Amino acid sequence: MQLDREQSGGNIIRSFSAGELHINDAVFTNHVIVSTDTIIENWSPQGIMNLSLADFSEVLSGAPEVIVFGTGITQTFPPGALVTDILRQGIGFEIMDTAAACRTFNVLTTERRNVIAALLVR
């Protein structure tokens, strides 16, 4: 999937395919967390079904309006307890495949929303 939308300033996700994510001019092959001004490389959750609030601690510290969670090639829902824990903090939590999460992140950043994307690349 190629993304060509331009935006001024900040991180922009250029493309995603299974195992490879292009943000700005960099290529990532491991899971990442990205905001408009930060990229956390080598995010290492231990599988979707084992996710907990601790896996999102770096994300939560930025007090985002919404977390866009990209689950890889297919949409897979994490444990309900995780979703509940994040929503209780007043943060939106959108779950979608990574291609959709990349598109959503780019759109929300052009709207100047405080969004963070947690992206599984494989």
Domains of the chain: 13-119 (3.40.1230.10)
Collect the ranges in the chain with pLDDT lower than 70: 1-9
Tens-digit pLDDT profile for residues 23-45: 999 999 999 999 999 999 989 99
End-to-end alpha carbon distance in the chain: 14
For residues 19 and 57, what is the distance between their CA atoms, to the nearest angstrom?
24
In this prediction, residue 62 carries a pLDDT of 83
**Dihedral pair phi/psi, residue 68, rounded to 5°:** -100, 115
In this prediction, residue 9 carries a pLDDT of 67
- Please name the amino acid found at residue 42: N
For residues 109 and 113, what is the distance between their CA atoms, to the nearest angstrom?
5
Using alpha carbons only, give the angle 8, 11, 15 rounded to the nearest 5 degrees. 105
Model's pTM, two decimal places? 0.90
